[in-house]
Amino acid sequence: MSIEEVYQTLAAHYGDLRWWPAETAYEVIVGAVLTQNTAWHNVEKAIANFGGGDLLSPQFVRDVDPIRLAAIIHPAGFYNQKTLYLKAVTEWFEQYSYDVDVVREQPLDSLRRELLAVKGIGQETADSILLYAFGFATFVVDAYTTRLCARYGIDAGKKYDAVKAYFEANLPRCADVYNNYHAYIVMLGKDFCRKTRPLCDTCPLTEMCVKSV
């Protein structure tokens, strides 16, 4: 079974899911940081606390007192750490004048290195920001991805870099494809291929599954 076959099967089941649910690129950046080690519904509560408008902006996050920012993002958990992370990634964005088009003019590899040097930004968060906020073709790997590989006999390796490289080598180099594929994997993991008590009988990939769970 190829990952292209998986993609086509999930595309037929889910349709076009292209993520991220956000109004601006900066909201994606904020969400990518806040979703670390928490459920998405907690991120939504934290985002709502900004109240929209000028508060959910890099200028506000840059200038706001850390104690107030921590109170705003409290629902997302680890709020003291994430306050530092948001301040740091906002400082990174500031060097590009908070201009999405200016960021998009930069080489992907150098942007990724820059983001990985920012406090609190790991590989999954960096790739999420680059793909969803700025539209770069960089594949996002998460726990759902490694579960998919293990259960469907996809020999992509164990480490983040290896899995990322495998998917990128076996798919078209296209941000829309990477966007949808990651969305499909997450939805599959939540709807059917759960960590415990998976719903194999109704899963769209049931005939492809090679691992008894």
Entry pTM: 0.94
87 falls within a domain: yes
**Count of alpha carbons within 13 angstroms of residue 79, beta-carbon side:** 17
Exposed, middle or buried, 100 (CB in 10 Å: 0-12/13-18/19+)? middle
Listed residue (6, 33, 46) closest to 132, CA to CA: 33
Domain CATH number, residue 72? 1.10.340.30
Q: Which of 133, 155, 178 is the last residue of a domain?
A: 133
Q: 49 and 7 in one domain?
A: no
Q: 127 and 80 in one domain?
A: yes
Q: 127 and 157 in one domain?
A: no
Range of the domain at 182: 3-18+140-208
With vertex at residue 41, the alpha carbon angle to CA 129 and CA 159, rounded to the nearest 5 degrees, is 45
Q: 68 and 145 in one domain?
A: no
Cβ-contact 93, 75 below 8 angstroms: no
Predicted pLDDT of residue 1: 67
Read off the pLDDT band of 211 (50, 70, 90): low
213 falls within a domain: no
71 falls within a domain: yes
Cβ-contact 37, 210 below 8 angstroms: no
> DSSP letters of 183-213?
HHHHHHHHHTS-SSS--GGG-TTGGG--S--
Tally of structural domains, the chain = 2
Read off the pLDDT band of 193 (50, 70, 90): very high
Q: 78 and 103 in one domain?
A: yes
Q: 52 and 152 in one domain?
A: no
Dist CA 54 CA 51 (whole Å): 9
**What length does the chain have?**
213
Dist CA 111 CA 43 (whole Å): 25
Cβ-contact 76, 46 below 8 angstroms: yes
Q: Which of 115, 133, 151 is the last residue of a domain?
A: 133
Cβ-contact 24, 185 below 8 angstroms: no
Predicted pLDDT of residue 53: 66
Q: 66 and 162 in one domain?
A: no
Q: 10 and 88 in one domain?
A: no
Predicted pLDDT of residue 56: 94
What's the whole-number mean pLDDT along residues 14-27?
90
Tokens of 170: 């076996």
Domain CATH number, residue 175? 1.10.1670.10
3-state SS class at 134: coil
Cβ-contact 39, 78 below 8 angstroms: no
Q: 7 and 77 in one domain?
A: no
What's the whole-number mean pLDDT along residues 42-68?
93
- Dihedrals φ, ψ of 17, to 5°? -105, -5
Q: 194 and 155 in one domain?
A: yes
Predicted pLDDT of residue 212: 47
77 falls within a domain: yes
Q: Which of 84, 112, 133 is the last residue of a domain?
A: 133
Q: 127 and 168 in one domain?
A: no
Q: 160 and 126 in one domain?
A: no
Dist CA 5 CA 45 (whole Å): 36
